[in-house]
Amino acid sequence: MDESLMDHSPFLKLGRWHWWFMVPINILFLIVGQAAAVLLGRFYYDQGGNSEWMATFVQTAGFPILFIPLFLLHPSRKLETSTSSSLSPSIKVVALLYFALGLIAAGDNMLYSVGLLYLSASTYSLICATQLAFNAVFSYFLNSEKMTALILNSVVILSLSAALIAVNDDSKVLSGVSKGKYLLGFICTLGASALYSLSLSLMQLSFQKVLKRETFSVVLEMLIYTSLVATCVSIVGLFVSGEWKGLPLEMEGFNSGRVSYVLTLVWTAVSWQVCAVGAVGLIFTVSSLFSNVISTLSLAITPLVSLVVFHDKMNGVKVIAMLLALCGFCSYIYQNYLDDAEARKMGSQSHTNDIEESHHAFI
């Protein structure tokens, strides 16, 4: 392992056991949060919801709950500020960064909302799987990520898993959706996948080049302020488009009732924030590519949740897809295990060399 690789090793950001503790938690947040958010979003449309801007709004509107863990980390944040104030960028630079990332998030959320409205779950999952290919390209150019054989294997297997789930569904187009709207949903979802991958790589680049402090409190601050910008954009879009006028009628006409309408929106907002914490947490602890791999793994797990919640049918193709997803996940985890072993080996050699140099200097 060369020096540049050691500088970007996730095992040097955190202690070894701290790293192995944080990664599974963030994986759980991402998988559970994304699965719940997608299912609730599909439930919103199925029960009579039709506001694209409302579906966009709830993807970031739950950001105030992130102030709770940020407040709990307050003592450590004071320590960070006192020890790294000289490395901190100006407030203007940080504000511009958060504003730009917030605009990207708002556009990405809107594209996903349109895609989920006009596409079946199968087609939606297939197109979303392309985010791995986009992220591999962005990570290579923006984050200097190396494409090893194990990582490439993981990307291919997880993409194949999502593709199997997609082609297994018999309903290619939702009833009542014209070919024009279907094409619009396809293009929007493809664009959203590319934009999401770009945002992950830009966040990782921001941690390395601009913020220069890869701590979890910085991650939370980025989530809060970018979500604030995206939420404000969604509110403006909701009023400018005039969709806000139809919200009372939408609530009254919701098939499950007004209480269910409110709870669906609230829990969708909470689920997206849980997902966001997991996604950005994995960028912090590992990389943007790994975060995207786990996001695609969630696309394979979502049908299992749907089996329990919506009583969907489970057949052999979906079982094979799940097994493939687990294999792809294990492939990437094994690559990180190899990186861990190599980092510890280089650290041990460096420590030995320092001792030898000290011994020779003493002699």
Tens-place pLDDT, residues 224-260: 999 999 999 999 999 999 999 999 999 999 998 999 9
Looking at residue 109, its pLDDT comes to: 94
* Confidence tier at 222 by pLDDT (50, 70, 90): confident
Nearest to 258 by CA among 48, 39, 106, 56: 48
| Strongest mean pLDDT among 35-39, 325-329, 342-346 | 35-39
Looking at residue 160, its pLDDT comes to: 78
Least confidently predicted of 2-16, 78-92, 289-303, 330-344:
2-16
Considering only residues 56 and 196, tell me which one the structure prediction assigns the higher pLDDT: 56
Looking at residue 149, its pLDDT comes to: 81
pLDDT surpassing 60 at residue 79: no
Unique residue bearing structure tokens 């596409």: 119
* Confidence tier at 359 by pLDDT (50, 70, 90): very low
Looking at residue 300, its pLDDT comes to: 66
- The DSSP secondary structure of 137-165, one letter per residue, reads HHHHHHS-----HHHHHHHHHHHHHHHHH
Looking at residue 349, its pLDDT comes to: 63
Going from the C-alpha of 324 to that of each of 114, 179, 298, the distances in angstroms are 29, 32, 13
Looking at residue 268, its pLDDT comes to: 94
Instruction: Judge whether 105 and 229 are in contact, CB under 8 Å.
Output: yes
- How high is the mean pLDDT of the chain? 78
Going from the C-alpha of 283 to that of each of 62, 136, 347, the distances in angstroms are 21, 14, 23
Which residue type, as a one-letter code, is found at position 12?
L
* Confidence tier at 165 by pLDDT (50, 70, 90): low
- Half-sphere exposure at residue 50, Cβ-oriented, CA atoms within 13 angstroms: 13
Mean pLDDT of 64-73: 79
- The DSSP secondary structure of 198-229, one letter per residue, reads HHHHHHHHHIIIII----HHHHHHHHHHHHHH
pLDDT surpassing 70 at residue 65: yes
CA 310 to chain centroid, in Å, comes to 25
Mean pLDDT of 319-323: 74
pLDDT surpassing 50 at residue 6: no
pLDDT surpassing 80 at residue 355: no
* Confidence tier at 311 by pLDDT (50, 70, 90): low
pLDDT in tens, 294-310: 877 776 677 667 666 65
pLDDT surpassing 70 at residue 121: no
Looking at residue 314, its pLDDT comes to: 61
Looking at residue 262, its pLDDT comes to: 94
Mean pLDDT of 4-11: 42
Instruction: Give the integer Cα–Cα distance in Å for 245 and 148.
Output: 52
Q: Is the dihedral of CA 318, 310, 292, 132 positive or negative?
A: positive
